[in-house]
Each structure stands twice: as C-alpha cells, then as structure tokens.
A and B are shown apart, each in its own frame.
Chain A
Amino acid sequence: MLPALPEVFIPVSERMKLTAVVERANRWAHPVAYFLQSELRRARFCSVDALPPGTVVMNGWVSYCVDWEQPRNLKLVYPRDYTGAEEQLSLLSPLGAALIGLRAGDRMPFLTLDETFRLVTVMDAKPDAPTFAHRVHDGNAANDTDDPFDSGPHAA
C-alpha cells in the first residue's frame, strides 16, 4: 500500500497569486495545470506565523533529492519570474508543483513531462538564502507577450 501523500502548507497571503497561476495554466491547457490545481485543493492555507518550520514557500530556496540523484538547491519561483536561470525552478513544472508546501523530510511522487514517476525528498527549505547570489528580477509585467514581433495571448 502506498503511504499517504505529505501535507501541503501554504501561507494564505499567496493564495490569490497561486489561484491566478492555476487559472492561467488551465486557460492555456498547460500540462502541469491539473497537478498544481490538485495540490492547491488539498493544501492547508495558514498564516505565515503558523507555517511549520522547513516549509517550501514561493521565492524560497529548497534542497531536495529526486530518487537517488545528487541533491540540488533551487529557488522556487512564479512562472512570470522564471528567467531560465539555472538556480530557478518554476512553480508550473512537475517538480515545482510537487514541492510547494512540503516540509523537510517529506517525500512526494510526481509524474515528469516524459511521463515517468519520480520521487522527490525535501532535505531543507528556507524562505530565503542570503548567502546565495541570485538574480534580482524586476517583476516587469510589460514583457508578458508571446512573441516580440506579434501580440499574442496575455495574462489577464
């Protein structure tokens, strides 16, 4: 028998932004939309103060291990803040959606885009890691088109 899925804890202050990500992902039939939506549905939204220590939060850093591979340390970011930098992990990815709200020690199965089941183990999570140099994003929403030469689908 499979063990129960680990609980998901999310600061209530992130709820609207996360809901907007899911809505946009659903509207454009993103392959991770359903998984992220199901994780948010079972999440417990709580105040930042009530968040258990070692919880993976948005814009926070997470150390994790996938199956038996080398541990990695990445920053979990909203899709619109994802620049492609190597230290970033988009929330709208199978691994990002699996990690949000988990705590150090949790293990969570997820399905990759190549449709393979993998198991991620959270080793550590911090709201921020000032010792890590990382790119500061200006959050400029004006770039939210699909092609520099054509106007395309936009975020609402």
Chain B
Amino acid sequence: MSYQAQLPDIVISAEDHRRLQNIAEAAIQTHSDVAEYLQEELDRATVCSAATDCAPGVRMGSYVEFRDDKTGRVRSVQLAYPADADPSNGRISVLTPIGAALIGLSEGQSIEWQTRSGEWKTLTVLKVSDRKNALGYLDV
C-alpha cells in the first residue's frame, strides 16, 4: 500500500508486538484502516526478545524526534497507547497513521506514510530516546 519500493526494516520487542497485536485486533472493526496498517507493520516486523540478539527501534513510550521530509519541519512526540494518547502533551497514539509508521524504526530510517486524507508523506527519524517516566509508568 506504499509507494516506497523498499520499506525500512522495523524491529519491535516481543512485549510490544504482543500488546500491539491486541490493539490492532481490538480496533479492526471501529478503525479498520489504521488497524490494518498497524497489522501490516506488525506482520513484517522483526520481533526481538531476550533470546534474540537485536535491539528494538521506536518502542511504546519512546520519545521520537522526526522530520517531515516534505516541509522540513521537525517534531518531537512520545509514542503512546491509544487510551493514553494526548497530542496536546505530545503523546501520539500508535493507532494513528503516523504512530503506526513510527513503531520499530531506528534513527536515520525514513518511511512513507499516508494521512487519513490520503496524502503521502515521508518522515525521517532523527532521534529515539528511551522511556524515562514513560506514560507515567516510571519504568519501575
């Protein structure tokens, strides 16, 4: 569904992958477009666990700085669960086109994504910061 000939490799932790699978399934009836997109990303992702020797990219709760390659505008967001999302505080739901595009990306990678109005955009991840006080979880 993308113009992009070669989608960037995405790497998702096993815990995130399982939870995001639940979220995609819960939303498939009510938000089928973005739920299907999230499902496609989950299906093509590399899943890593303690047993595999790989590091996940953008995780749930990660802070991400990215550039809109068309406008050059740089934004900083935190990737949030749909029930925690609050854009006025920079928390973007993983169940939005841009949130689903971000999951699993690493610094320097670019991805094309489609807005709900159908417009194609490209974003490039500039920086991924780990979760400190992520979503009030405090990572305790």
Binding site for B on A (CB under 8 A): 24-25, 27-31, 33, 66, 69, 77, 79-80, 82-84, 86, 88-90, 92-96, 112-115, 118, 120, 140, 143-153
Nearest B residue to A116, CB-CB: B140
- Residues from chain B with Cβ under 8 Å of A31 in the complex: 19, 81
Q: Roughly how many angstroms separate A115 CA and B25 CA in the complex, as a whole number? A: 22
A28 to chain B, nearest CB (A): 4
Chain B, 20-46, CB within 8 A of any chain A CB: 22-23, 25-27, 30-31, 34
CB neighbours of A120 from chain B (8 A): 140
Q: Is the interface of A mostly helix, strand, loop or mixed?
A: loop
Q: Do A93 and B135 have beta carbons less than 8 Å apart? A: yes
- Considering the complex, give the chain B residue whose CB is closest to the CB of A90: B136
B55 within 8 A of A: no
**B136:A93 contact, CB within 8 angstroms:** yes
B96 at the interface (CB under 8 A from A): yes
Q: Which residues of B contact A95 (CB under 8 A)?
A: 137-138, 140
Give the residue of B26, B99, B135 whose beta carbon is less than 8 angstroms from that of A147. B99
Q: Shortest Cβ distance from A85 into chain B, in angstroms?
A: 9
